[in-house]
Structure 1
């Protein structure tokens, strides 16, 4: 069972988190400050630390260095954007905005622990042994668990001659994987031929792959070697193999089975020694079941499989990759030093990147060209930060929130902080309990939200705001007494 330490000075939020995580089979410990976390617990014994950014005494970011290799998830508010970005720069694995939805917190916890499955074990390993077990593949930048697994699998698969199937969304770097496999293999000194099956017309794909003899068809004025034959002794990379026409699939199947090809118009076959790597962003198994891809060919190419994670699932890799790509573009364009602004970092780490690494690369190139001065912001990246935040807030606030007006919902809000209440219930109870003694600004700060967000939630939950002067009057009475 994974161990999680929750560091939060608000007992309401701390208790809610503990109960939420324990219901999902995590072993949870608590602390109200960094000092309490240090004195009462051994930080390296945990798989994850979840800490509020603003704590009494030392800030939550102090835990990043004190925890060593244990990942730290920082809780903050959108009003504290720069602090959240600074915490990422200091090494926080991620941040989550308060108030958050249960599902968002659980997703973040699950993802982070999956990216650091042996954090406690790895903390006792030497850096050299960790590096040896997961060598970096050529051209790749990535430290998340999915990428480390990929590097390890490349190391194991590369020395063989078995066929490799690379799976991943468009723009994730499938050709880089093919090059890494080739360069780490015993065929590295020979040719790597790359073919995009989707870029060649159906009428030409067979002649391109298998070649043809003089006179085989109109316009064949001379014999021509095909790409498979040109890769003899080396590696053939067939990108987007899911787009290969059925006729070409049948010929390719024979090449894989027999290790020989026959040029179009020829009566004799030629033996070739080619290592095959295929890639696709499509579900070949589903295509085979629907009759759009040959099942026998699918079984032949699905020998060794490498899966590339989408960029949105690679955690801190996104920021590291963006900074690396920025340096590459600065050198290529001969421009002076630049850095990403806090808003640019927030945009990069919260945007979904449907085009993956390729989209990020183009966004960084555009931003470097258009930016003036020494800072890149989200506008030159072409990312609408307001839209990104709206989508994220909807995701955080939308899950589990009833569409029925709060005034029509019977709620029994107990004063017992250990009650199994939703975060919406906790919000209401906190506001009702403290609005007589706190101003709107103080309430918003304690809840980790903006005044505007506080007002919007008052409207949603039908919690009327006290008349002006009532809270200050109460404070004056307390001061007078």
Structure 2
């Protein structure tokens, strides 16, 4: 096997010499440079890895990324700002490491990045198969179980193909029911970790008192009822991908533990005095505004920047044009097969209704409507009334009260109308009644209150 070549770009002589000795002793061929100008004189694309300081004479280490081509760039920084490290990752750095660095940590990171390099190079042509690099006319094919061909999804597929092979943390943002877990699975399947498992965790579904034990495991006797030692879900994802859905619901104590996992690549079980090394990739998802949660003191800022390395926004169903029909056909075939039903089709009224409806619950709501209609269908066709969404649409368009009469409904966006309707009726209707009048679930009503910043009415003093 040929010797692996590493270029070290560092202006501090002592650090550069120490790093060269460390890598040379471990079998790497090392060339060095002390500035941007010297680095550009090297054939950076011919190395297996570039290790560069962030701040250099003549520019920044990230300026070398374009010259390096497909070669991964590891950025070193003595600057404590997490923001600068995140910006380096956004510019294309494969990873960053803080100075002063631990020799063992440096070696482990170097070996991991070089090992991943062939995967990244193999995936790159697929991601940029067309010379129109930013065009949405690439006709990108769907990934995994994702369905849809609209322009927002075309851009999503292209971004996923670029992001998935790079072993970095990904934050998926989107409304509830848009398919964030499907995005996480697509990322896992396209990564070098696809031979291992993806472990999916819904942070909102685990009681706050149990979340740390579930995620990080515990030692026997750590608390009442801990009769045996248990491995946590983080350790269960060893070598693979950990998907944390609804990460905005994670308690602050668990956030601190998760931050250590991301920073130090180690996990300490509840009740244990020692830590264990873990090798995982984190994909997180949320429908919440994490920046707002940070400002409110409900989410750690350092963890937020760790998660924000790569952001992927998943469009809601109402912004995906005719994708709703494509998804509907896919879901109909899926559930016909599952239920052992003969082939069933949507009639024109159902198609028109699905296109006109706003789908506040997104793909999840669409799937529920199709399952219900499939069970009720009798003649091999699904009509609009069987979908059960026409009633919901009519309920949203309820007559305006006198206080609302001054505002023309046609001039309001969906969010404006929703806000005005809730504010006008929340004092006289319960949350259940409000949700029913709007044709949505109580959970969806709660989510929209948070998204649009609509406060609940104060209870009257008894």
Tell me which interval the TM-score lies in, with the shorter structure as reference length.
0.5 to 0.7
Residue of 154, 165, 169 corresponding to 2:160: 154
Instruction: Check if 1:163 corresponds to 2:169.
Output: yes
Unaligned runs of 5+ in 2: 1-129, 401-407, 413-462
Shift of the 400–240 alpha-carbon distance from structure 1 to 2, 3 Å rule, reads: closer
Where do residues 391-406 of structure 1 align in structure 2 (5 Å cutoff)?
A: 391=397, 398-399=409-410
Give the structure 2 partner of residue 349 of structure 1: 355
**What's the CA shift string for 1:175-203, capped at 9, x where partnerless?**
00000000100000001111110011111
Distance 2:255 2:153 in 1: 31
Partner of 1:231: 237
Pick one of 256, 259, 269 that aligns with 2:265: 259
1:132 Cα deviation (Å)?
Answer: 6.9
Give the CA deviation at 1:374.
Answer: 2.0
Q: Which residue of 2 aligns with 1:68?
A: none
Report the alpha carbon displacement of residue 344 of structure 1 after superposing the two structures with TM: 1.1
State the partner residue of 1:285: 291
CA offset digits 1:298-340 (Å, max 9, x no partner): 0111111111100011001011111221122222222223221
Q: Which of these residues, 135, 143, 150, is aligned with residue 149 of structure 2?
A: 143
After TM superposition, the structure 1 = structure 2 runs for residues 39-118 of structure 1, keeping only pairs within 5 Å, are none
Asked which structure has the greater CA Rg, the reply is: 1
Corresponding residue to 1:309 among 315, 319, 322: 315
Helix, strand or coil: the match of 2:312? strand
1:157 deviates by 0.6
Distance 1:342 1:392 in 2: 26
Q: Conserved in 2, the CA contact under 8 Å of 1:351 and 1:388?
A: no
- Does the Cα contact within 8 Å between 2:169 and 2:310 map onto a contact in 1? yes
Deviation at 1:389, TM superposition (A): 10
Measured in 1, the distance between the counterparts of 2:399 and 2:347 equals 21
The aligned counterpart of 1:299 is 305
Partners of 1:390 and 1:282 lie apart in 2 by 24
Structure 1 position 375, deviation (Å): 1.4
Change (3 A) 1:151 1:392: farther
Q: 2:383 aligns with which of 368, 373, 377?
A: 377
| CA positional deviation for 1:233 | 0.7
Over 3 Å counting, the alpha-carbon distance change for 1:198 and 1:206 in structure 2 is same
* TM-score normalised per structure 1: 0.54
Q: Distance in 1 between matches of 2:155 and 2:349?
A: 32
Which residue is 1:194 aligned to?
200
Q: Structure 2 matches for 1:388-427, cutoff 5 A?
A: 388=394, 391=397, 398-399=409-410
C-alpha distance in 2 between matches for 1:147 and 1:197: 26
Q: Report SS of the residue matched to 2:378.
A: coil
Q: Give yes or no for contact 1:133–1:152 (8 Å, CA) kept in 2.
A: no
Give, in whole Å, the separation in 1 of the partners of 2:308 and 2:393.
Answer: 40
Task: Count the aligned residue pairs.
Answer: 275
- 5+ residue gaps in structure 1? 1-123, 402-481
1:191 & 1:329 partners in 2: Cα distance? 26
> Residue 133 of structure 1: CA displacement?
6.5
Structure 2 SS opposite 1:360: helix
Shift of 1:125: 9.9
Provide, for residues 83-117 of structure 1, a one-character-per-residue CA deviation record: whole Å limited to 9, x for no partner: xxxxxxxxxxxxxxxxxxxxxxxxxxxxxxxxxxx
Q: 1:386 to 1:197 in 2, by over 3 A?
A: closer
Return the alpha-carbon distance in structure 2 between the equivalents of residues 253 and 385 of structure 1: 46
Shift of 1:393: 13
Task: Measure the CA separation in 1 of the matches of 2:331 and 2:347.
Answer: 15
Whole-angstrom CA distance in 2 between matches of 1:184 and 1:224: 30
